[in-house]
Each structure stands twice: as C-alpha cells, then as structure tokens.
A and B are shown apart, each in its own frame.
Chain A
C-alpha cells in the first residue's frame, strides 16, 4: 500500500532534519553545538518513526519515540557533564582542543589568524524607563559585546 501524502511529507521533514544534524555535527567545532546537532538528528528520527507508525496504524513508533526521549535525557545529562569537565581542563568548548586523541594518520587542525569581528555595534532593545535610575559609574559596561 502506498503511504499517504502526509506520511511521505513527514518522512521528508524527518530526513531533512537528520541531514541538517549530520552536517552540523561534522562541520561545527563547538562541543555544545555539535551536541545540539545530535539532538536535531534524534528529532528527525522521531518524526520519521511517528510517520511510519501512522502508516502502519501501529503503536511501535510512538513507544520507540518515548524511549528516544528518555535516552536523550540521559545522554544530555552525561554528555553535558563531560563537556563541563572538558571545559574545566582545556578552558575551551573546542573539539580541536582534544585533537591529540586523533588517529595517527590524520593531519593536525591548525587555526589561522582570523580577521577582526565586524565592527557593527549590537542593537539591544530599550525598555521604557520607570522608577529611579540607580547610580551607575560612568565607565561601567553593563552589556556584553556579544552573547
């Protein structure tokens, strides 16, 4: 039986999310963004499982997605602890900080000098002032330049 159009579109969305997650985990170097990409892949798998569940009129996909949620929660807890430990040791959230663990036949990741960040001042939202303004020293910088 041909799957219904809704099932096919759901599979397509799931496939796109999975591919995006794959690109993210391969290309990005920030450990947290890599981890978010892995979660994106899990979301793609969830959407595909629910689509197939609808196609077959079966609960298997739904139950499997519940277990995906559970395991993702465990994985997030343990992996974030690892990320924190890695940050405590290297001072960076950079996966290349651990490149001494690479295979011996792979070349080193070398960082080139990066050009300066664009000097476009960030625009922060302004709230309507209310009450009395607290005394702030002239040179105090209350905003981070970047988030």
Chain B
C-alpha cells in the first residue's frame, strides 16, 4: 500500500468517526420525547459515541512509550467523554459535576503535555473556584424538579452538524500537519533552532524528557510571565478588579443614589 493510499484510508476512517460523533450527539441531546423512544435514542447514541471514540483512537498517533500512551489515552478519554456528558445531561447540576470531571481530564492532558503549573492551576482555579460558583448559582436559581427547558434542545440536528463540520475541518488540518512538512508550518521550531536546549534530533523528540520547557519549569514560566509579559499581568489585575466591582454593581438591587441617601439617614 502506498503512503497516499494509507492516508486516504485514515481520512475515510476519520470521516466516519466524525459522522458517528455527530449522530451520537444528535441522539443524546435532550429531545423532549420521553419514554421508550428517548431511552432507545440515548442507548443508540451512546453506542455510536463509543464507535466514534474507538475509530478516533484507532487512527491516533503512536506515542513514544506504552506507559505514556496509556496515561494520555485515559486522561483524554476522561476529558472528552465527560465533556460530552456535560452537554447532553438533562440536569444542570449533573452537568456541572461532569464538567468538573472534564476539568480533571483536561488537567491530566496538560500534565502529560508538560504544562505542570497549568495542570494544577486548572484544578485549583476552575474546579476549586469557578465551578463552586456555578453550583452556588444553581442552588439559588434552579427550580425543584426537571424544568421543561432542560428537556428540549434548540435545533439538535443543526447543532450536531455544525459541530461535525468544525471537528471535520480541524481533523483535516491536523491530519495534514502529520502528513509531513507541509508549507503551512514551515517556520523552524525553536526547540531545534536553539542548540543548547534543543540538542535532540527527531528520533528522541517524542520522549517526555525531550520537552525543552521541562527543566526548572515553574521558575522559568514565572520569569517569562513577570518579565516579557509584566504589562499584561498588570492589565489582567486591573481586569479582575473591574470585573469584581462591576459584578457587585450589577447585582445590588438598590441604585447607588438611594444607598447614599440611606447611609446619610442612618448617620443622622
């Protein structure tokens, strides 16, 4: 089999996988039918989703070691399956909890990719702070029982098709990247351009130790952040302050003039 034939084979498998993923999401999204029909649709959708994931795994790239590959496979599966469950679960509380699991998977993927600080920061900031805020709002605002708008979707078919088109284009682009030195990414990688740090050749480029950012990771990330990007850090600080003040201003019901008046009366 020539390389071109193998590529088209992989391409058609990936096309089937994307199609299965779209069909599975269409079947799994809330349909508002209830009863046996909806249950059958969900079972069939789960089956199609498994088929799609298996096809994606079959066409995936072989990583360096068996251990690394197994770890990446597990965390990536956790991230993608929980992400899918986040958007198809009827109850928003379960949605938020699935999202927490997806965050754990994403943190694992980031760790495997060598972003130690970001993996931990994702858990701390997202799962620890933002998600708890979501759950508080749900506690305040969610009516008891299953709301009707949680049991139906807006145009599930068109949404699934839109997602499939996006995923298909991304898959096409990534497949082209892997096909060889394409014209689109002719920029030489810094890892090979820098002699001292990136002394590795392509044979060992897949090993985890080949990550040029691994040594002294957090210290160098901090140096980069507070060196080249100091102004951006200051701007982000101002943004946080503005968001804080803005959200307090929006949420308080009484207009500020009345509050000043109330305070003045309390003083008098």
Contacts and interface: CB of A to CB of B under 8 A. Distances in A.
B158 interface: yes
A11 to B, nearest CB: 5
Given A56-B191, A87-B141, A114-B148, 6 more contacts: A11-B170, A19-B163, A26-B159, A50-B115, A63-B221, A70-B236
Contact of A3 (B143, B178, B243): B178
B144 A43 contact: no
16 contacts: A2-B202, A4-B205, A4-B206, A5-B178, A6-B68, A8-B61, A9-B63, A22-B162, A22-B166, A32-B138, A57-B190, A57-B194, A70-B239, A80-B247, A95-B149, A147-B94
Interface in B16-41: 25, 29-30, 32-35, 39
Given A11-B174, A50-B110, A66-B118, A30 B150 contact: yes
Interface in B204-257: 205-206, 210-213, 220-221, 224-225, 228-229, 232, 236, 239-240, 242-244, 246-247, 250-251
A62 B87 contact: no
Contacts of B144: 144-146
B11 interface: no
Interface string A119-147: 00000000000000000000000001111
B122 interface: yes
Contacts of A47: 79, 106, 109-110, 113
Interface in A57-80: 57-59, 62-63, 65-67, 69-78, 80
A20 B240 contact: no
Interface stretch (B2-10, B127-135, B260-268): B127-135
Contacts, number: 318
Interface string A26-58: 111110110111011001001100110111111
B136 to A, nearest CB: 8
Contacts of B12: none
B35 A118 contact: yes
Contact of B212 (A32, A57, A114): A57
B55 interface: no
Interface residues of B, number: 116
A58 to B, nearest CB: 5
A18 to B, nearest CB: 7
A9 B163 contact: no
Nearest to B145: A146
A51 to B, nearest CB: 6
A16 B167 contact: yes
Given A9-B60, A83-B141, A115-B33, A32 B92 contact: yes
Task: From B29, B32, B174, name the one whose CB has the most chain A CB atoms within 10 angstroms.
Answer: B174
A118 B34 contact: yes
Interface string B179-215: 0110001001111101001100010011000111100
